[in-house]
Structure 1
Amino acid sequence: MTDTPGWASPGSSPSSEGREPGTSGPAEPADRPGPAEPAPQPGADTQGPGVKWSKEQPPPGQWPAPTGAPSPDLTPPPPPPGPGWGGHPGGPGPGGYGGGYAGPPPTGHGGYPAWGGGWGGPPPAAKPGVIPLRPLGVGEILDGAVSTMRTYWRSVLGISLAVALLTEISLVLLQGLVLNDALGRTALDGKTATPAEVFRALRDTMIGTGLVTVISAAAIIVTTALITTITSRAVLGKPVSTGEAWREARPQLPKLCGLLLLLGLIVVGTIVAGTLPGLLILLSGGHDAAGSALFALGILAGTVVAVWLGVRYYLAAPALMLERQGIGKSMSRSAKLVRGSWWRIFGIQLLAALITSVVSAVVTIPFAVIGAAMSGDGMADFLATNNGHVGWTFLIIRGIGSVVGTTLTLPISAGVTVLLYIDQRIRREALDLELARAAGVHGYGTGAPGPVPGS
C-alpha cells in the first residue's frame, strides 16, 4: 500500500475481519445495575415504577414501554430513532429511559458509532488532512480546495503564479505586438482595407492566437498535474514539495496532454457536427431561412451534447493522474464515477466556476480601471472602443491584475476537480478506508460497513 489515493485498487472493500455486518456487539448482562440506580433489594418488586426491569428483556431496538405508573420525575423521551448513518437501528443509550446498557453502540461506515445509536448526533469522521474521510458536501469540497491552497501555499501558489505569469505575458505580447499592428494596418472599416491586408491581418492573428493557446494549454496541463498530486497528499495530511509533486506527475504528463487534446477535439467536433447540416444548406444557396434555423438549432443541440460529454469525462484527468491509467481507461473510469451523479457534478462544477469568475473579476476589474486611467487613451482602452488598439500601459497593468486573479482562482478550480473525484470514489468504492490506512488512522474501518449516503 502506498501513500497516494490513486494507487489504491478501484472498488476495494473494507476488511472482512471482525464481527459480521449487522451485529451490534456483545450484550452485557441484563441484570447489571445501571450507573445512576442502586441495585434492587432482595424481595423488592422489580416491576414497580422507577425501578429496573427484570432480567428477561427483549433484544435491543425492540423495547416495549415499561409497565406500571411512570415516576413523577421521569419524562418519557422521544421514540427511538430509526436506522442511522451506518445502516443499524438505533436503541436506547446508556443510562437512558428503559433500562441498563445493552452493549456498545452499533458501528457504521468506517467503524465509527452509527448515527442514531445515541443522543449525540452524527459521529465525527477521521480527518487526517483537508477533508473528512466520508462522503462530502458541496461546502466541504470547496473548503477542502481552499484549505489545500492555504496549507500548501508555497507549492500551490508558486505553481499557479508561474503559470499565470507565463500565460499573461504571452497575451500581453500578442495584443501589443501582433493584434495592435494587424488591426492598425487594416483599419477594420471595410473601406480602405484591401483583401491582401485583411488576409495578412487574419494570418498574423491566427498565428499569434495559436501560439498563446499552445503555451496556455501546456501551462494548464502542468498545473493540473501538479495540483492534482498536491491535493491527493493534502487529503492524507502529508507534506509535499513542488519537486516531489513534479517527480510523481512527470511520467503521466504525455498521457494527460493526449487526454486533454482528445477531450477538446470531442467537444469541438460535437458542436461542428451539430452545425454541419445547416451550414451545408446555407452554402448550397437555397432556403436561407431554413438553413439559418437549422444552423442555429444545430449549434444549440451540439452545445448541449458537448456539455453532457464534458461533465461525463470531467473526472478523467484525476483518474489518469492518481490511478496511473491510460487515456481510454481514465475516460471509462470517469464515465463510471459520474453515472447517476451527472447533475450533482455539473452543479458543483458550475458553482466553482461562478465563484472563481467572481473572485477573478473582483481582483482584475480595479486593475483594469487603474490601467485605463493611467493610459493615454483613457476609458477607450477599458471599453475596447479604440479600433481594437490597446496601449501598453493598460495592457501591463491589466495583466498584473489578471496574474493575481489567476494565481488565486486556478488552485481552487483544480482542487475542486480532484476532491470531486475522491468524493465519488468514497461514495462508490469506499475509498475512505484505503485513504485512512494510507494516512495511518488506527482503528478506522474495523466495524461493519453501512451504506454510503448518496451512493
Structure 2
Amino acid sequence: MPETPYPNPGQEGWQVPPSQGPSASQPYGNGTSSPQPGASPAWGAPPSPQWQTEQPSAGTNGSPYGAPSPQSPLWTPAAQPGIIPLRPLTLGDLFEGSFRAIRANPAVMFVFAVGVFAIIAAIQALLAWGTASFMPGFLTDPEYLVDDQATAAASMFSGQLVSSLFGVVALSFGTTIVMGILALTVSDAVIGRVTDLGTAWRRVTPHLLRLIGASILLGLLNLGITLLFITIGVLIIAVLIAAEAPTAISVIIGILLFFSGIAALYYVTIRFLFVTTVVVLEESGIMTAFSRSLTLTRGSFWRTTGRYILINLLTFTFSIIVGGVVGAISSITVFFFSEAISLSITTFLIVRAMNFLSTY
C-alpha cells in the first residue's frame, strides 16, 4: 500500500497543525473558534468569553433561596375576630365555639339560661309537691281508693296532668326566648362583640311574638306529622286484623311506620332548624323565616343531620350522667325529707339539668 507523503519541515506550505486540546495556558472549555475553510488559524490571545446572566431555574422565579415567590399567594390563617374563624366550620370549630361563647359572655350564655329554666323547674316542683302529698297513702294503703280517697287520687292524677302540661308549655316558651337571646348573643360574639343581657333583651323583645308564633307553628307541624302516622298505623292494623292477617305482618308494618314517622320528624326538624335564628338575626316574618330555613339547609341536609344527631347523642350521654347524679341526690333526700319534698327536689333538678343540656 503506498504511503502518504508528508511534507518536511521547511518546505513551502508546511504549517504547524492546530492543537487538538487545550494548552496549559488556555482555560479548559474555552476553545477557539473553528477556522474558515481555506484560511489559516489566527494565533493569539483567545477571545474573551461572553458572560451572560444566569437564568433562574424553574420554580424559583428569580427569588433568593428560602424567600417566598412574589407571584405566589402567601398562606394566611382565616380571620377570627371573635369565637370562631370566618371560614367553613368543622365539627371541632362548632364545639370549641360553643365553649368560647360561654366563656366570652357567661352572664347571658349561662346565668340567664339557667335562671329561666330554674324558674320553670321551681314551678313544676311546686306543682309536683302539691300533688305528691297524696302519693304515700295511695302506695301503701290498699283502701286508699275507697270512697273519698278515690276523689283524692283523681285529684292527684289531675294535678300531675296539669303539671305535665304546664311543663311542656312553659318549656316551649322558655326555650324559645332563651334561643332567641342566645342566637343574638352568639352572632355578636362571632365578630368579637360582647352584648350584655339588657341590650340583648331590648333587641329581642320586638321579635318575641314572631318567635312564639314560629315555635307554636313548629310544634303543630310536628304534632300533625305524629298524628298522621298514628292514624295511618291504626287504620292499617285495623284492616289487617279484620282480614285476619298474621300478627307478624302487623308488627312489621307497625315497626316500619314507627321509623318512618321518626324519619319524617327529623326531616322537618332539620329543614326548619334555623327558623328562630332567622327571625331574630334577619328580623324576618314567620313564613319568610320558614322559607329562609329551607334555603339554608338545601344542599347541606345530610351534613346538618349528622351534626344534629351527634350533638343529640352527646346531650343524651350527658343527660344520663346528670340523671344518675340527680337520682343519687334524690335517694339521699328521702332520708331527710318527706316523699313530697323529695319528689319536688328531684323534679326541680331534673327539669333544670335537662333544659340546660338541651339548650346547648
Give the TM-score, by structure 2 length: 0.72
Of 275, 296, 312, 1:337 maps to 296
**Pair 1:228-2:160 in alignment:** no
Matches within 5 A, 1:366-381: 366-376=325-335
Structure 1 residue 244 displacement after superposition: 0.4
Contact 1:376/1:391 (<8 A) preserved: no
**Pair 1:358-2:302 in alignment:** no
Structure 1 residue 400 displacement after superposition: 4.2
Judged with a 3 Å threshold, the aligned counterparts in structure 2 of structure 1 residues 104 and 299 are, in CA distance, closer, same or farther, namely same
Q: Deviations over 1:125-179 (max 9, x none)?
A: 111111111111111111111101111012221211212211221332233222x
Q: SS of 1:277's equivalent?
A: helix
Judged with a 3 Å threshold, the aligned counterparts in structure 2 of structure 1 residues 263 and 96 are, in CA distance, closer, same or farther, namely farther
Judged with a 3 Å threshold, the aligned counterparts in structure 2 of structure 1 residues 400 and 272 are, in CA distance, closer, same or farther, namely closer
Judged with a 3 Å threshold, the aligned counterparts in structure 2 of structure 1 residues 43 and 302 are, in CA distance, closer, same or farther, namely same
- Greater than 6 Å deviation, 4+ residue runs: 188-192
Matches within 5 A, 1:404-443: 406-407=355-356, 409=357, 413=360
Matches within 5 A, 1:67-78: none
Matches within 5 A, 1:156-305: 156-178=109-131, 180-181=132-133, 202-280=157-235, 286=242, 287=244, 289=247, 293-305=252-264
- Please tell me whether Structure 1 or Structure 2 has the larger radius of gyration of its CA atoms: 2
2:275 paired residue number: 316
Of 360, 385, 392, 2:341 maps to 392
The sequence identity of aligned pairs, in percent, is 22
Amino acid at match of 1:216: L
CA distance in 1, matches of 2:86, 2:165: 43
1:35 paired residue number: none
Amino acid at match of 1:253: L
**Superposition RMSD in Å:** 3.6
Q: SS of 1:399's equivalent?
A: helix
Structure 1 residue 235 displacement after superposition: 0.7
2:64 paired residue number: 95
**Pair 1:105-2:72 in alignment:** yes
Q: Deviations over 1:112-136 (max 9, x none)?
A: x4xxxxxxxx521111111111111
1:432 paired residue number: none
Structure 1 residue 231 displacement after superposition: 0.5
Q: Deviations over 1:271-315 (max 9, x none)?
A: 221121331355687348355554443222111111111111111
Structure 1 residue 181 displacement after superposition: 5.0
2:284 paired residue number: 325
Amino acid at match of 2:286: I
Stretches of structure 2 that go unaligned for 5 or more consecutive residues are 1-48
Q: Deviations over 1:210-269 (max 9, x none)?
A: 112222122111101111111111011112110100011111111111111111221221
Judged with a 3 Å threshold, the aligned counterparts in structure 2 of structure 1 residues 354 and 405 are, in CA distance, closer, same or farther, namely same
Contact 1:129/1:238 (<8 A) preserved: yes
1:154 paired residue number: 107
CA distance in 2, matches of 1:182, 1:149: 42
Aligned residues: 305
Contact 2:330/2:342 (<8 A) preserved: yes
**Pair 1:126-2:79 in alignment:** yes
Contact 1:185/1:201 (<8 A) preserved: no
Contact 1:278/1:298 (<8 A) preserved: yes
1:135 paired residue number: 88
Relative contact order, CA 8 A, sep 6+: which one is greater? 1
Stretches of structure 1 that go unaligned for 5 or more consecutive residues are 1-41, 54-64, 67-79, 81-90, 107-112, 114-121, 379-388, 414-455
1:71 paired residue number: none
Give the TM-score, by structure 1 length: 0.58
